[in-house]
Amino acid sequence: MIRFRVGHSWRRETPGPGGPRDAFAFELEGINVLPGANDEPLVRIVGALVDAVSALVVDGERAGQVSLEDVHLELCLWRTAGNEVTVWVIDLSQPPRQVRAPIGVELPTLVEAAVKCARGFLRDVGQHKGDLAPELVALEKRLKRLTFAVIEERPARDTPSPWSAVRSASDGIGFSLRDDENRTLAWNRKTRAGLPPLLFDGELTRPDGTQQAGLPFLTMMGLARAATEGGARLGGQSVPADQVYRAGLDLCLALRSRNPGLGANPYVEALQVRCTDGLTALRQPVPDTTQATVSPPRSTPGVPLAPVGDVRRVTLQPRWSRPVALGEEGGRVVLGKRWAIVHSAHAAHAFTRTGATAFRHLSTRGVAISPDGDAICASPERVLFFEGRGPTARWMRDHDGGRLGPDLESVAGVLVCPLGRRGVAGFARETGRELWRFEPPRTQSLTFSRVGTRVIVGTDGGTLYGIDAADGQVRFRVKAGLPVARAPVAVRNRALVVLNRGEHSAIYLCDALSSGDTTPAGAIVWTRELILATPSSPVWARGHTWIGGARDGRTVLICLGKRGQVLWEKSLPCDARTLTLLPWDGGVIAADARGAATRVLPDGSAEWVLGSSGDELNHAIALTVSRRTLVVPGPVTRLVQPRGGRVLAELATGPRMLDLATDAKLTIYVLREPGTLETFVPGAALAVVPSAR
C-alpha cells in the first residue's frame, strides 16, 4: 500500500507568503521513504506530484519527477511496459546518491494515491485560501484532468537495442555505461523530468582497477563538485581534478552521441559546464565536444520595424533557441549592449544577438555579473574577475568561502557586489584587492541598490545605510521600526524606501547625496504611513509616487504627491502578491503574474483593463516598453498598445517561464524551465509613421 501524506500542523496558524509549509511523506507499507521533508511548500509540492503523475498517464511520458528542494531529494518515476512504475528516491546533496533501492508500484495505485492526497489538501486549504486562489484553481484543473484520464497499458513496442559506452581507465578515470531500458532516449526538449533518464547502470574505474558500481552519472556529478572544491575521491583514494573533468566531458559526449537532445537536459548541461570551467580554471586544454552537437536552425529575422512611429500591428516569429547553463536552478535574463546574459546564483551564460555562445561562468560560491559582462566568480578558496568575453581571469584573489552575488555594480573603478544576503563588498577593478566590506550587525537579509556613487543598503532590522563606494565609509544611517521590504529606488539624488511588517507599511524619501549644508545626506524629505500588506516596489515619475499592495482582501494602488500626501487610492483587478508597476505618460501601468494588466491615468481613472491570460507564473516579471509597445509577461505574453490597451500580438510562453526581457528592437528573450533561452523577433509589422513637412 502506498500513500502520500501532507502534514496538518500548518492549519493551526495563518499560512505565510507562498502558502502553507509542512511535512510531506511518501509511505510504503507505513514506512516513509522521504526522510527529512518536514518544511516543504505544500502548494508547489502537491502540484508537482499531480504534474508528474499526469505526465505518465495523460502525456504518455515515461518519466516523472517531484523535487523537494529544501532537503535536496528528488522523487523520480519511471514507467515500464504495462502499468508498472518504478520509484527512485535520489539525494542530490554532496555526494549525490540513491537513498534506497527502487520501488515497484502499479500505476493505478499511484494515481489513486496522488489524487487522494491532492483532494485532501485542497479540502483542507479551502478555509485558508487567502492569496492562494489562483494557484489552487490551477491545481484543481490539473487534478480534474488526471482524475478523468483513462489509464492505458504501455504497449511493448519495438525499441532500439540496449546501449552501452566504455571509456578506458588508462586516461585517468574510466567508465562503463549500460542503458538496458533505453532511458536515455526518453528525454526530449518537452520533457519536464530531467533526472530519471539519467539513472542507468554502470561503473567508474580507477587506473589501478578499483571500481565503483551504481549510477555512474550521479557519481560523476559528485566527483565534479568535489573537484571544484579541491577534494575528489573515488574508491577511497584522491583523484586529480583534471582527470575528473575530462571523464565528465567524455560522459556528456557519450550521452549526447546517444541522444542529441540530452544536450538540453539541465543535469547534463550543468555537468558539462562545470567540467569545462574546471579545465579552464586549471589552464588545461578543453576537449572538443562539438561532434555530437545538433546544428542550430537557421535564423529568420523577418522584416525590421520602422525606426519611428507607433506600432499598430505586429507578428512574432521564433529566431533561435539555446540550452542555458544554469545548473539546477532558475535564473533571469540580463540584456547588455553586446550580449544577452542568463544568470542564476551560481552560473552565467552569455549569448550574442545571433545565438552564439559568448562566454560561460560557473562557480560554487556564487557568480556576480553586470549587464556589460563583467563577472566575479567565487569558489571556496578563490575569487576571480572576468572582464567581458576574455577567456582568462584578469585577476584572482584569496577568498573566505562566503557566498557572493548575484548583482555587480562598477562605481568609479570599484566593483560592488553583495555577499550573499548579509553584506556588501567593494573590490578594486584593476587589482582585485578587497577595498572594503560592510556587514551590518544583527542582519538576516538585506537589499542593495545604488544612487550615484553611493551604495544604499536596507536591512530587515529597519536600518538604511548610505555607503561611499570608494572607501566603504557609512555616510548616513536612517533607523525605522519596520523592516526594509524592497530595494531602495533611486529618484535622482534621493532614495525611495518601503518598510513593511504584516499590514503596517511606511514609505519615505530621503537624500542619498548631500546638497550642501542645508540638506545633508540621510535627511528625510517626507514620510507616509500606510495600511498595506505585501507592498510592491514603488515607482516615481513627474513628482508623484505610486505604490500598490493588499488591504481588506483587495488590491489597491496609492498615488502620493510631492510632499508624500495621499492624492487618491484605487482598487485594481490584479493580484497584490505579484503586483508590478511601470510609470507611463504621467500615469502608471499595473500588472501581475497572471498577465492581468490595467493602465491608470494621473487622476486615478482606469483607461483600459486586460484580464488574466492563464495560470499564474511562479513569480512576477517586470513590464517592459520597447518601440512604444508594452510587453505584458504572463502564461500568454501579450504585446499591447499603451494608449487604448489594444492587443497587438500574443505569444504562448507557458506558466513555467522563468524570465522575459525585451531589447530596443522589440526582440523578446524568453527563459523557460528547465533551462532554455528562446528569442522571438517581429516578423511583419504595421506602423503609423508621421510624415515630414
Q: Alpha-carbon distance 672 to 656, whole Å?
A: 6
Looking at residues 604-632, what average pLDDT do you find? 89
**All cell numbers assigned to 76:** 523520480
Q: What is the pLDDT of residue 519?
A: 66
Share of residues in the chain with pLDDT > 70 (%): 90
Would you say residue 301 has pLDDT above 70? no
**Which are the contacts of 371, defined by CB distance < 8 A and separation ≥ 6?**
334, 335, 336, 337, 341
What pLDDT sits at residue 297?
A: 37
CB neighbours (10 Å) of residue 44? 19
- Flag whether the pTM goes above 0.85: no
CA–CA distance, 554 with 560 (Å, rounded to integer): 19
Class of domain 333-439 as given by CATH: mainly beta
Q: Do 602 and 544 contact (CB within 8 A), yes or no?
A: yes
Residues 6+ apart with CB under 8 A from 47: 135, 138, 139, 142
Distance between CA atoms of residues 107 and 615, nearest Å: 27
Question: Which residue matches cell numbers 533561452?
Answer: 677
The two most distant CA atoms of the chain are separated, in Å, by 84
- Would you say residue 295 has pLDDT above 50? no
Cell output for 540:
516615481
pLDDT: is 448 or 15 the higher one?
448
pLDDT tens digits along 547-595: 999 998 899 999 999 999 999 999 999 999 999 999 998 899 999 999 9
* Residue 645: pLDDT over 80: yes
What mean pLDDT is predicted for residues 73-95?
Answer: 88
Collapse the DSSP code of 307 into the 3-class scheme (helix H, G, I; strand E, B; otherwise coil) and give the result. coil
What per-residue confidence (pLDDT) applies to 156? 55
**Residue 504: is its pLDDT beyond 60?**
yes
Residue 86 has pLDDT above 50, yes or no: yes
Q: Which of 10-24, 183-197, 358-372, 451-465 has the lowest mean pLDDT?
A: 10-24
Q: Where are the domains of the chain?
A: 2-147, 163-292, 303-324+614-693, 333-439
Interior/surface letters 399-410, b for 16+ CB within 10 angstroms, e for the rest: beebbbbbbbbe
Q: Read off the pLDDT of residues 135-158 as tens digits, 9 standing for 90 and up.
A: 788 888 888 888 888 887 765 555
Question: Averaged over 266-282, what is the pLDDT?
Answer: 84
pLDDT value of position 14: 66
348 in Cβ contact with 367 (< 8 Å): yes
Any idea what the Cα angle at residue 609 is, between residues 605 and 611, rounded to 5°?
150
52: left (phi over 0), alpha (psi -120 to 50) or beta: alpha
pLDDT in tens, 40-71: 888 888 988 999 999 888 888 889 999 887 78
In this predicted structure, the answer to whether residue 15 has a pLDDT above a threshold of 70 is no
Query: What local confidence, expressed as pLDDT, does residue 656 receive?
Result: 84
Q: Residue 291 pLDDT > 80, yes or no?
A: no
Rounded to the nearest integer, the mean pLDDT of the chain is 86
